[in-house]
Amino acid sequence: MAALPAKMQAVLLRQGGYSADAIPASEVRAVDRWLEQAEIDLPRPGPGQVLIKVIASMVNPSDLAFIQGGYGQPRVAGAPAGFEGVGTVVDGRGFLARRLRGQRVSFVVGPQGSGAWAEYALADAATVIRLRRDLRDEDAAALIVNPLTAAAMVDLVPEGGAFIASGAASQLGKLMAPLARERGKRMIGLVRRDAPAESLRALGATAVLNETSENFAAELAETLKAERPTVFLDCVAGSISARVFKAMGKDSRWVIYGKLTPEPPEILEPGTLIFMRKKIEGFWLVTWLAQTGLLRKLRTIKQVQARFADGRWHTDISARVPLRQVVSDLPKALQQCDGKVMITVQ
């Protein structure tokens, strides 16, 4: 293996801590307030860590919330951004780390760590995923955050039950639709345009409703009556979310995992929490990873790789942005619909 360089290119966080001013990804017109490109020292692995030479990394909604200070972890100014990617292990400390050397792996970094939007990144050796050879880099770069979230959230739906998913034209929605169908669970997708409806149905959604349609309230009522969903997986948490939850029946759970609108949602009929046992809660992959047993996690990850390898899942890349052009080109790439932005590093 070639000697490691002393310096690397990276996209760095300019601000530390939190901020209350986060805006939705689709409205981001410039990122230079939060990000800068720079050459910095190569990070050094601590005990149990591996150093990964990054091939490609992803731009997830959680990245965009995090760089703006609107995610559940404080930023560290001067650290590279980016949670998730694929690369080759080139160094490491500890037995497991040494065994991984030379392997292609999918990885996530801790938010206080050395991020994935860089030529090299650090990750815990115990958390990286050794990859099957037949897995494309595009799928390997997006193997953890969205797929595990999709798998864990579809697991919240009772056997044979139905659920509602807002923002369903997203990559996450496209992962959940076929998974739900395969597990015998019915997905009702909420979208904001007609275009993605047909492809979501083809992927496996039982019903797709356009929130902006004049007939939305009537269509929702009819669909709820037919499908009786008890789980609402919601990345919007706005006024439409509040109305959807109000319309749902007994024992429903409103599971909020993102916040795409600025105004706070209302609890429209608190009495339904009392008399219909309805609940409102959150979902965060970090909490799921902390609370789920290792065997179940490993089984889920194995299933995820198999789904991508055999084509049941597919990561739609809408734009590729080279690492050195992230600060200038990311906003434009984000405005493309219904796909993911990938950062190409080498």
Cβ count near 301 (within 10 Å):
17
SS3 345: coil
Nearest 5°: CA angle at 100, between 95 and 105? Answer: 145
- Applying CB under 8 A, among 34, 71, 83, 232 the residue interacting with a copy of itself is 71
241 vs 40, 150, 179, 270, 272, CA distance in Å?
44, 19, 23, 15, 15
Nearer to a copy of itself, 224 or 236 (CB): 236
Nearer to a copy of itself, 6 or 274 (CB): 274
The one segment of 5-13, 78-86, 200-208, 279-287 that binds a copy of itself by CB under 8 A: 279-287
Instruction: For residue 273, give the amino acid letter.
Output: L
**Which one, of 316, 339, 341, lies nearest residue 329 by Cα?**
341
Footprint on residues 122-181 left by a copy of itself (CB under 8 A): none
What is the per-residue binding string for a copy of itself in 213-242, x denoting contact by CB under 8 A? ------------------------x-----
Distance of alpha carbon 284 from alpha carbon 18, whole angstroms = 18
Buried b (16+ CB within 10 A) or exposed e, 185-211: bbbbbbbbeeebbeebeebbbbbbbbb
> Is residue 281 at the binding interface for a copy of itself, with CB under 8 A as the rule?
yes
With a CB cutoff of 8 Å and minimum separation 6, the contacts of 133 are none
Q: Specify the residue, 214 or 263, whose C-beta has the smaller distance to a copy of itself.
A: 263
Of the ranges 137-145, 189-197, 261-269, 316-324, which one interacts with a copy of itself (CB under 8 A)?
261-269
**Cα–Cα dist 35/15, whole Å:** 8
- Of the pair 158, 184, the CB lying nearest a copy of itself is at 158
Stretch that binds a copy of itself, among 141-149, 193-201, 211-219, 251-259 (CB under 8 A): 251-259
Which residues between 284 and 303 bind a copy of itself (CB under 8 A)? 284, 287
Shortest Cβ distance from residue 242 to a copy of itself (Å)?
8
Per DSSP, the three-state class of 159 is coil
Say what angle helices 145-155 and 171-182 make with each other, to 10 degrees.
40
CB of 255 to a copy of itself, least distance (A): 9
Among 48, 70, 94, 331, which residue sits at the site for a copy of itself (rule: CB under 8 A)?
70
Quote the least distance from Cβ 158 to a copy of itself, whole Å: 17
Identified binder of a copy of itself from the candidate list 275, 293, 295, 311, rule CB under 8 A: 275
Q: What are phi and psi of 297, to 5 degrees?
A: -65, -45
Is residue 189 within 8 Å of 206, Cβ to Cβ?
Answer: no
Show the CA angle centred on residue 301, arms to residues 299 and 304, nearest 5°. Answer: 110
319 binds a copy of itself (CB under 8 A): no
7, 264, 299, 322: which one contacts a copy of itself (CB under 8 A)?
A: 264
Q: Of 288 and 313, which CB lies nearer to a copy of itself in the complex structure?
A: 288
Helix (H, G, I), strand (E, B) or coil at 298: helix
Of 55 and 280, the one with the shorter C-beta distance to a copy of itself is 280
Closer by beta carbon to a copy of itself, 250 or else 332: 250
Binding site for a copy of itself (CB under 8 A): 70-73, 237, 256-259, 264-284, 287
